[in-house]
Structures are given as structure tokens and as C-alpha cells.
Amino acid sequence: MVPAWQKGIVKQIEQATPNTRRYWIELPEQESFEFRPGQFITMDLPIHEQRNKRWRSYSIASPPNGNVVELVIVYVDRGLGTNYFFHEVKEGTQLTLRGPQGVFVLPEEIEKELFLICTGTGIAPFRSMLHYMDKHKHPNKPIHLIFGTRTQEDLLYYDEMKKLEAEMENFHFYPTLSRENWEGHKGYVHQIYESIAAGKTEAKFMLCGWKNMIDEAKQRILALGFDKKDIHLELYG
């Protein structure tokens, strides 16, 4: 059943990186908004006459916690949805949304080593999953978050993820930059998960980001000897 449309009110906006913002949205019609970490909500934005061309979906970046959700949105030049968010939406703006939706969710039991591979705002569903696991002391096999961006200033939630890595058992964080030299990993996400997964026979891969990254990752993971059923993906854009 498709969830009903409901009201959302923007409670807080924060500039996260030069081209991304964090939006906290309250759902006042519910005391608690229940969802599985990794799911998304769909917005009906006033950007087109045709209703289905007004719909934009965004992964929830926060874990389940009351009736407020966090979204992280990147500015896309000539993107109707992001132009509306960046130029029209203010604290107090009322939005129309529905959710939760989606099957790109945290497995109920983590029985295999888990690779969370993302670029840009593709980190959003993984942040939700990781905070949920940390809060509930979710037992797990090793989890590898491999996050690719261009430069250090694009590293969303960097301090948060480093803190989780220090506190959360079996969690490893691999930020990697493609356009800047620094003390951390350099290049693209593919080299990171290939080096960790090489020689392994069992693992699960969750991919979230732009189509080009996901298409290449699927081929590389299959070439490592894993099966299609080991790969779960969520496309952005």
C-alpha cells in the first residue's frame, strides 16, 4: 500500500558542504514516524503543472527518532527540485510528502561481511543504518563504509563517521578523495573495496550513488567472484 500524503514542516536548515544542505523536517500529524533505515520519502513540490513531474524522492539520513527526519540534498544545476529547495525553502516552509518507501534497507540479520559503498549524498541511507545499529547495539559482521567524494570539503558527516568508527565494534570507515591529495585514501571507491574483498567468498554489497559508479561497481564485484544476489543498489539521479 502506498503511504498517504501528509504535511511536513522544515524546522532547521544547515549548510553541510559548499553544495549540499541538511534539512530537518517535522511530520506534525504523527507522534512517531516509523521506517526502516535506508528507506526514502517522496516530496510533491510546486515545480511543475503535472503532478508526477513534481515528485522527488530523498533517502532519510537520520535513524528513526520521533517525528523529525533529516534529508541531505545536493544542489544540481538546472535541477527543478534542488533549485526549489535551495532558493525557496526556508525554516517554517510547509511541504507535502509521503513515505516511508523503498526496499534498500538494513538487513534484519547481518550474517555476512557488509560493504556500504557510496558517493556524494549516497551516504544518507548508510548514515541512518549505522546510527540505528550503534543505538541498538546491533550484532554484526565487519562493516566497511567506503565513501567517495572529490575533495575534503565534500566529505559529508566525516567527523560523525570517524567517531562511530572509534566507538562501534567491527565498523570501518574509508573516505577516499578523487581530486585532492591528503593523508587518507586517494582515488576512487573501487580500489578500496576490491583490496578488502579480494579472496573472500562471502560478503554483501550495498551501493548508493550516481549511476556510473554503481554500474562500474557491479561489474567489478562480479569479477571478484561474487553473485548478483550479493549486490543491492539504490540509484541517485
What is the secondary structure of 176-224 as a DSSP string? EESS---SSEES-HHHHHHHHHTT-S--EEEEEEEHHHHHHHHHHHHHT
Which segments of 74-210 does DSSP mark as H helices, in order? 80-87, 124-136, 158-167, 189-197
Closest C-alpha among 229, 175, 189 to residue 205: 229
Q: Give the model confidence (pLDDT) of 160-172 as tens digits.
A: 999 999 999 999 9
> How far apart, in whole angstroms, are the C-alpha atoms of residue 201 and residue 213?
23
Q: Compute CA distances 59 → 67, 126, 154, 170, whole Å.
A: 16, 10, 18, 25
pLDDT confidence of residue 103: 95
Q: Phi/psi class of residue 200: alpha, beta or left (left: φ > 0; alpha: ψ in -120 to 50)?
A: beta
SS3 61: coil
Instruction: Count CB-CB contacts under 10 A for residue 76.
Output: 13
pTM: 0.96
Domains of the chain, CATH where assigned: 6-101 (2.40.30.10), 114-236 (3.40.50.80)
Q: With contact defined as beta carbons under 8 Å apart, do 140 and 110 qualify?
A: yes
Residue pLDDT tens, the chain, 237 long: 789 999 999 999 999 999 999 999 999 999 999 999 999 999 999 999 998 899 999 999 999 999 999 999 999 998 999 999 999 999 999 999 999 999 999 888 888 999 999 999 999 999 999 999 999 888 678 999 999 999 999 999 999 999 999 999 999 999 999 999 999 999 999 999 999 999 998 999 999 998 999 999 999 999 999 999 999 998 875
Asked if residue 132 lies in contact with residue 108, where contact means CB atoms within 8 angstroms, the answer is no
Please give the grid coordinates belonging to residue 185: 585514501
Q: Would you give the end-to-end CA distance of the chain in angstroms?
A: 25
Nearest to 100 by CA among 137, 131, 128, 133: 128
* pLDDT, tens digit, 9 for 90 and up, residues 29-81: 999 999 999 999 999 999 999 988 999 999 999 999 999 999 999 999 989 99
Q: How far apart, in whole angstroms, are the C-alpha atoms of residue 172 and residue 164?
A: 9
DSSP-based three-state secondary structure for 28:
coil
Helix (H) or strand (E) holding 109: none
| Cis preceding-peptide flag for 100 (omega within 30 of 0) | yes
Identify the H or E element spanning 115.
strand 114-119
Q: Which residue has the cell 513515505?
A: 99
| pLDDT at position 89 | 98
